[in-house]
Every structure is written in structure tokens, then in C-alpha cells.
Amino acid sequence: MKALSARFPAAAYVAPFGVFVVLLALRGYLPVSPRLEYPLRALLTLATLLLTSRALLQFRTLRTWSSVALGILVFVVWVGPDALWPPYREHWLFRNSFLTPGGTPLPPESMVKDYGFLAFRILGSALLVPVIEELFWRGWLMRWLIQKNFLAVPLGSYLPSAFWITAILFASEHGPYWDVGLAAGLLYNWWMVRTRSLADCILAHAVTNACLAGYVLGAGKWQYWV
């Protein structure tokens, strides 16, 4: 794996996210039950992360409490529109032929009783997804858009086009939640530019996802778990 990283340095930043996205695209087509799809996706992504990206997994934050606060702010931004105005998400901008509504492959009553699934889903969203997404979006893409030799670009380097393209693509990843996804992408990008710390962005993202997991379970808002 060291030889792979030396020859293809982007692999450490891209491969775990790529595996996760490919397996997500294959949801419903894999020869496993719906209950096992997310655990399988999480385990294969984690294995890829450990094999390709272990050297990057350093979590020494510079602004710990500020990152926690930012993560909470992004969570509030994420759920705020729907909480304040329930019909908001029914607008054609969020439900049309190009966008699919959020949801899970399992009915809510099934998920509540499936503690194994819930454990994988909570740990995956709060611990695994923030790492692979921050490695890809702000660790690699935002730098690669500035210069193809992205390792020569310091973390947190700012170029307007790279900043906005990364945020827009991050938003597109979230389907009918593209609006709050864009807001989140802009805030996470801003935090990367301000802190120049991948660990701080991972922490902020992890706090957002952990708060969202608690909200899903506490309020029964399963639609947020795509």
C-alpha cells in the first residue's frame, strides 16, 4: 500500500470515499439483505480507509471547541428549514425528476428494533463518513482544483473557483437536501480555510452527523438518513 500511495498519492484521499459512493450506488443490487447493506458498505469503506489512508489519520485539532460549535451550527442549519416549515421540502426545487427523496432501505419500525443496524448507522455516520468525506472534499478536491499536484498546495489554500466548485459538488451529493448541503459545504470550506486543519473539519463534520443521528432517533426523522 505504501507503493500505491507513493505512485498515486490521491488514492489515500479518494479511495475510501470512492468505495463508499460506489457501494451506495449499488444499494438494492448487492446480494445481501437490506439490513446488511449499510454494515457491508461501512466495513468495506473502513477497510479501504485503513489500507490506503492510515498515514493521514491524525486527529490533533487546533480549535476543538470552535469546531464543535461549528458542527452544531451546521446541524441547526440542516434541520432548521424543515423544522420551521414542514412543507418546505415538498417544493419542486427539492422533489423533481432529477432528485430523489431521502430515505432508508428499511422501514422505520424495522430500524428501531434492529440494534445492530442502528449501531452501524450511528457509528458510520458520526465517525466514518466525516473522515472519508473530509479527506475527499477538503483534503483532496479543493486543493486539486487549485493545482493538479495537490500535495504542493497547503491545506486551507483559497481560490474562489475551487472553494465554490467544491461546495456545489458537496451539495449535489446530498440530493433533495442540496440547499442545506450547499450551506454546510460553504461552512466546512470556510473552516478549512480558517483553520488549515483537516482534523478540525473532521471534528465539525462528526459533531454535525452525531447531532443529526440523535435527532433522527429522538424525533423519528428517518428521512435524514439517506
What are 131-143's pLDDT values in tens digits?
999 999 999 999 9
175 close to 226: Cβ distance less than 8 angstroms: yes
Query: Does residue 4 surpass a pLDDT of 60?
Result: no
What are 143-153's pLDDT values in tens digits?
999 999 999 99
Q: Show the cell assigned to 94.
A: 427539492
Section 105-130 average pLDDT: 81
In this prediction, residue 158 carries a pLDDT of 97
In this prediction, residue 109 carries a pLDDT of 56
What are 166-205's pLDDT values in tens digits?
999 999 999 899 999 999 999 999 999 999 999 999 999 9
Residue 39 identity (one-letter amino acid): P
CA distances from 43 to 40, 53, 121, 131 (A): 5, 15, 11, 14
More confident residue, 92 or 215: 215
Q: Show the cell assigned to 160.
A: 474562489
What are 84-107's pLDDT values in tens digits?
998 888 888 888 777 765 455 556
CA distances from 183 to 47, 78, 114, 144, 225 (A): 31, 8, 33, 22, 18
The string of DSSP letters for 199-213 reads HHHHHHHHHHHHHHH
Which contiguous run of DSSP H or E holds residue 110? helix 108-113
**Distance, CA of 117 to CA of 121 (rounded, Å):** 6
